[in-house]
């Protein structure tokens, strides 16, 4: 049964489970990364010294006084297209084209608000990716009233995490705790800016751990009944020791408000992501090359098994690490690099956190027999590749694109799998100024076919400076030329 929700930009949407994007809009118009290195971490791991807690629970009053100053308000500005107008009589009405052209108005400025928290005294702030995605301006308001401009150090859409930096020192911080130690029923506290109400504190318990809610390949959410609402995105979920054990990210709701079911990204996952974002600005992941599915009781019985633990291999990619290791469709992966694979959702996180070119042991069940294999993990080739608009890329486009795979073609209703689809347009860049939109498919550049992302970059880089690029785009059911 579908559930209705509103996301942080105020658009009505339908999902099978949750309302992601908790940043509140004020209109003006799949475990990730490498494991943390042995160096001193970017974040603190201290606990907060408080007076002896009363028998009824943690001393939230003293914890709030110590930790609330480290929670910040993240205010953003982004440019969004105005809604397209349509004929009230449907797409078949002769006047529909007029309405569509009339609706192509200049984009409007939209402000949004979310939360974040300081993880070290030198100004690094952790928040959600959806709070800052597509923004042209980020302002962080500290608890002392200062408003500072923030820059994005790095973002990771697949875990919905982002690392910001402000020019300040000596800031109060919140430590990142060990989310693997969380127990269901444990008391927790959320601090954030729901609906723009700054420094709001709510409490509850851990309702569940390891939740898979369909938001990405690496779902591993902490569920809580501590009240979180639009604007809480990026704020900390804090345990009784004063440590952030989660980053609030999503809610289940039929109304857009809290109904007591919220989800936070575990702090241990955030640690691996933050380490890489601080070092390189992006996250690298391991790749095995298998498609997997859960082992249901019916499937287990068909394979002659009495338990449903493990990840059932549905297919193996040609020339992948899995194929080279001897993994086959129908195998059940029960261990990876010494870690038990109790559920199929566990495997993608384990593979993703494994450094590329590392050889790891893999245990599989095949025809009722246990087999020990060795796989050399490769680097995951992320499909979303940016053709940058800075000087190093000759400043030509400013779009994020991905190949038109069969799955993408089905998503967009395309008949062919050629070209690259625009997933994001950089605000203020030449592509945006020329009228390129998210969802456009770039078929040709300078009358040369664009087969993939690499071809697009090669053609753009060879184009002489001072002359416009000629692009052939597919938009909806037609094609059009644009000069950039």
Query: Residues 75, 112, 179, 233: which is the catalytic one?
Result: 233
Q: How crowded is the C-beta side of 36, counted as CA atoms within 13 Å? A: 16
Confirm whether 302 is a catalytic residue. Answer: no
| Helix/strand/coil (H/E/C) assignment for every residue in the chain | CCEEEECCCCCEEEECCCEECCCEEEECCCCCCCCCCCCCCCCCCCCCCCCCCCCCCCCHHHHHHHHHHHEEEEEEEEEECCCCCCCCCCCCCCCHHHHHHHCCCCCEEEEEEEEEEECCCCCEEEECHHHHCCEEEEEEECCCCCEEEEEEEEEECCCCEEEEEECCCCCCCCEECCHHHCCCCCEEEEEECHHHCCCEEEEEEEEEEEECCCCCCCCCEEEECCCCCCCCCCCEEECCCCEEEEEEEEECCCCCCCCCCEEEEEHHHHHHHHHHHHHHCCCCCEECCEEEEECCHHHHHHCCCCCCCCEEEEEECCCCHHHHHCCCCCCEEEEECCEECCCCCHHHHHHHCCCCCCEEEEEEEECCEEEEEEEECEECCCCCEEECCCHHHCCCCCEEEEECCHHHHHHHCCCCCCCEEEEEECCCCHHHHHCCCCCCEEEEECCEECCCHHHHHHHHHHCCCCCCCEEEEEECCEEEEEEC
**Distance (Å, whole) CA 436 – CA 442:** 9
Query: Residues 8, 31, 124, 130: which is the catalytic one?
Result: 130
Confirm whether 233 is a catalytic residue. Answer: yes
Question: Do residues 429 and 391 lie in contact, with contact meaning Cβ atoms separated by under 8 Å?
Answer: no
**Distance (Å, whole) CA 440 – CA 272:** 34
Question: Do residues 335 and 348 lie in contact, with contact meaning Cβ atoms separated by under 8 Å?
Answer: no
Cβ atoms within 10 Å, residue 298: 9
Query: Residues 133, 156, 160, 440: which is the catalytic one?
Result: 160
Confirm whether 279 is a catalytic residue. Answer: no
**Distance (Å, whole) CA 161 – CA 281:** 12
Q: What is the CA radius of gyration of the chain?
A: 24
Catalytic residues: 130, 160, 233
């Amino acid at each position: 049964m579908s559930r209705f929700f509103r996301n942080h930009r105020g658009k009505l949407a339908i999902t099978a489970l949750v309302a992601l994007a908790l940043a509140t809009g004020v209109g003006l118009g799949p475990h990730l990364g490498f494991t943390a290195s042995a160096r001193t971490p970017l974040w603190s791991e201290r606990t907060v010294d408080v007076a002896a807690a009363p028998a009824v629970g943690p001393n939230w009053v003293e914890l709030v006084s110590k930790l609330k100053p480290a929670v910040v308000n993240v205010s953003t500005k982004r440019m969004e297209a105005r809604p397209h107008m349509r004929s009230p009589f449907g797409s078949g009405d002769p006047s529909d084209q007029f309405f569509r052209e009339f609706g192509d108005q200049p984009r409007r400025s939209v402000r949004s608000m979310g939360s974040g928290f300081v993880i070290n005294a030198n100004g690094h702030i952790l928040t959600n990716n959806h709070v800052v995605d597509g923004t042209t301006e980020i302002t962080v308001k500290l608890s002392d009233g200062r408003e500072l401009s923030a820059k994005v150090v790095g973002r990771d859409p697949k875990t919905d995490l982002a690392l910001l930096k402000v020019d300040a020192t000596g800031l109060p911080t919140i430590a990142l705790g060990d989310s693997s130690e969380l127990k269901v029923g444990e008391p927790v506290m959320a601090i954030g800016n729901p609906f723009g109400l700054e420094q709001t504190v709510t409490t509850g318990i851990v309702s569940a751990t390891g939740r898979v809610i369909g938001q990405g390949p690496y779902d591993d959410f902490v569920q809580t009944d501590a009240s979180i609402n639009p604007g809480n995105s990026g704020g900390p979920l804090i345990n009784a020791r004063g440590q952030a054990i989660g980053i609030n990210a999503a809610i289940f709701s039929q109304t857009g408000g809290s109904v007591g079911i919220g989800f936070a990204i575990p702090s241990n996952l955030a640690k691996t992501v933050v380490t890489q974002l601080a070092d390189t600005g992006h996250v690298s992941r391991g790749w095995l090359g298998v498609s997997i599915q859960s082992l249901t009781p019916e499937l287990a019985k068909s394979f002659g098994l009495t338990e449903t633990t493990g990840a059932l291999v549905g297919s193996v990619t040609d020339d992948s690490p899995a194929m080279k290791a001897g993994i086959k469709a129908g195998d059940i992966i029960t261990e990876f690099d010494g870690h038990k694979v109790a559920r199929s959702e566990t495997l993608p996180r384990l593979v993703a956190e494994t450094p590329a070119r590392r050889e790891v042991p893999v245990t599989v069940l095949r025809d009722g027999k246990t087999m020990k294999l060795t796989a050399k993990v490769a680097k995951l080739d992320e499909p979303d590749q940016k053709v940058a608009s800075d000087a190093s890329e000759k400043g030509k486009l400013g779009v994020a694109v991905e190949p038109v795979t069969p799955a993408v073609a089905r998503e967009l209703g395309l008949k062919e799998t050629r070209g690259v689809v625009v997933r994001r347009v950089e605000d203020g860049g030449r592509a945006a100024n020329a009228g390129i939109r998210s969802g456009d498919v770039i078929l040709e550049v300078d009358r040369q076919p664009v087969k993939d992302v690499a071809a697009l970059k090669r053609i753009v880089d060879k184009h002489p400076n001072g002359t416009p690029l000629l692009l052939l785009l597919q938009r909806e059911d037609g094609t059009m030329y644009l000069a950039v």
